[in-house]
Amino acid sequence: MSLVVMATGGTGGHIYPAVATARELMARGHDAVLLGQRGGMEERVAAEQGLAFHGVDAGKLARSGQGRPDPRELLRAVRGVAEARAFLKEAGPGAVVGFGGFASLPGVLAAQSLGLPTVLHEQNARLGLTQRLAVGRARAVGTAYPTVIGLPENKATMVGMPVREERLPRTEALARLGLREGPLTLLVMGGSQGSLALNNAVPNILREVFGPQGRSPEGPVQVLHSTGPRWLDEVAPRVADLPWYRPVGYTDAVAAWSASDLAITRAGTGTLAEAAFHGVPLVMVPLPESAENHQYHNALSVQEAGAGRVAEQSRLAGELASAVLECAVPGTRAAMREAALRRSPAGAAGRFADLVERQLR
């Protein structure tokens, strides 16, 4: 059996698929270690998950005020590649797997400079910048979408998005969250840190859509709104008069998805994959500032598959209300649920682990 290094970091959309893949490979007898930015979110997640971690320096591929890469960040990236090379030469892994994001780049580039097999996982519908830098020498690329803009077809294998494959019975999930059985359950989630734009706009829009009593044309409604810890004290007073609207700073994601009939979210890859695994239809508000507008392309792919609707942030007041009402109709929601489940059938981590195992030296 081999050691497999997961080069990842930066955001949950890059880190949690690496965690799911690492666990799958470990269940098959391999060893796995996460390689990412020293002191980054990935180091904390690895500790929480009981996974081995090795930290290196990593520079962000952001632009300076003149539109050019910040030379200080480039220097950090170069230093990170050197640190990753030293680690990989000593560890001797069978393969290095890159999950995208700037924090994955030192590990992937170091592996390629040493002639180690590299496999990439592309979570977005458009190939990201860091992946474009590595795809030329990658042995294979697993994708979460049937078509990825910018990715050569001969390197692409559709595997889905590796996620934590855990569901709760709906009754148990509702009880765990302190919600009632019966009403349409709507989840609002802007990511683990919350979304200021959604926090500002969604409560007022849903108040207008469902009224003071929280009723849709189909019956009663209840809302679970994960605001992010720093925003809870701002959102809670604005909905204190709505007994059907429950804001929380942070929520158990497995319970929340297991309990939900419909969700309003951003269009990050991790969020879309979890929704698909749980069969939850989405009203997606893509983050306008996402790199190369990748969230918009992600959301369009979900909409084209029939599993959700896009509501652009610039037109949120007009588009969100109509999208929610459309998706709340039972027949429409049932069809969207089936479309969501088809997008990400169970076993994505296993399929990607299969692809990685085929490349092990």
Pick out the residues of the known binding site: 11-13, 124, 164, 192, 295
For residue 250, the surrounding DSSP H or E stretch is none
Smallest CA-to-CA distance from 133 within 210, 65, 81, 173 is with 81
Task: Extract the annotated binding site for UDP-N-acetyl-alpha-D-glucosamine.
Answer: 11-13, 124, 164, 192, 295
- What is the separation of C-alpha 319 from the centre of its chain, rounded to a whole number of angstroms? 23
Tokens 């037109």, residue?
Answer: 315
SS3 330: helix
d(CA 276, CA 142): 17
d(CA 110, CA 86): 9
d(CA 358, CA 108): 18
Is the distance from CB of 99 to CB of 121 less than 8 angstroms? yes
Tokens 């490979």, residue?
Answer: 25
300 burial class (0-12, 13-18, 19+ CB within 10 angstroms)?
Answer: middle
Kindly state the tokens that stand for 255.
């319970």
| Amino acid in the structure at residue 297 | H
177 burial class (0-12, 13-18, 19+ CB within 10 angstroms)?
Answer: buried
d(CA 172, CA 155): 42
Output the DSSP codes for 66-86: TSSB-HHHHHHHHHHHHHHHH
